[in-house]
Amino acid sequence: MNSKNRIRQLRESNNLTLPELSTKLMESNQLKLSSDAISKYERGDREPKLATWEKLADYFKVPVDYLQGRSDDKVGWHLWEENTGYKKETIESQISQLKKFGKISENESIQKQIGLAVSYLDGRGKTDRNAIETASMELSELDNRIHDDFYIDPNKTVNEEKLGNSRLRNMKTEYDGSLYYDDMHKEVYDHISDILQDTRQKLAELENKTPNK
């Protein structure tokens, strides 16, 4: 058993009694632990299951191995480096940049700050390029939704063998609109689609002019 875990240390640093920690664990992590059970974990008289270690670590916002006393890395930098491929210095630099532009709050936990920084490093953050890509994707989905929801009559059948894996909206130059509702007009949909495609093209041109930051 591990008698050098940091459960008691973290509990006391958060000014929590055993009953208070028991209550907060249930409220925040749905982890049902009695005061007696927590006390035994603290003394090393009983070893928590892995799922319990993980929920305790999540509550205290530390890595499991730090909570277990196996590492002195309270933030878990080595785990972030191993799992993301980014060095600590690279992540810290990204955090500083995001704080500079107000995209990370000083009040957020270090784990959340790191997670947000990694999302930007991975190209998933709130950047000009991602805004453009999102707009383009939404326009494509809008085109599809307009076509399927407004024009295709579900009571009419289609030759799946002829179409294969292609969708009708991607064949509009060849498709005659025979599966549309009788009161819907192919030329109107084509015009809507052309407008959306033209806008996507302008977004692509804008993306090429936008710095990759």
Using one digit for the tens of pLDDT, what is the confidence trace for 73-82?
888 888 888 8
More confident residue, 135 or 129: 135
Q: Binning pLDDT at 50, 70 and 90, where does residue 168 land?
A: low
Average of pLDDT values for 123-128?
Answer: 82
Residue 149, pLDDT > 80, answer yes
Q: Binning pLDDT at 50, 70 and 90, where does residue 157 land?
A: low
Q: Binning pLDDT at 50, 70 and 90, where does residue 128 land?
A: confident
152: helix, coil or strand? Answer: strand
State residue 162's pLDDT score: 46
State residue 212's pLDDT score: 62
State residue 167's pLDDT score: 54
State residue 161's pLDDT score: 45
Residue 30, pLDDT > 60, answer yes
For residue 106, which amino acid is it?
E
Q: Binning pLDDT at 50, 70 and 90, where does residue 1 land?
A: very low
Q: Binning pLDDT at 50, 70 and 90, where does residue 2 land?
A: low
User: What are the extents of the domains in the chain?
Assistant: 7-67, 77-121, 128-209
Q: What is the mean pLDDT of the chain?
A: 85
Asked whether 155 and 177 are in contact (CB, 8 A), the reply is no
Least Cα distance to 192 among 213, 172, 165, 168 occurs for 172
Exposed / middle / buried, residue 32 (Cβ in 10 Å: 0-12, 13-18, 19+): exposed
180: helix, coil or strand? Answer: strand
Asked whether 87 and 95 are in contact (CB, 8 A), the reply is no
The architecture (CATH level 2) of 7-67 comes to: Orthogonal Bundle (1.10)
Asked whether 63 and 73 are in contact (CB, 8 A), the reply is yes
State residue 75's pLDDT score: 86
For residue range 39-55, list pLDDT tens digits in order.
Answer: 999 998 999 999 999 89
Name the least confident of 8-22, 110-124, 167-181: 167-181
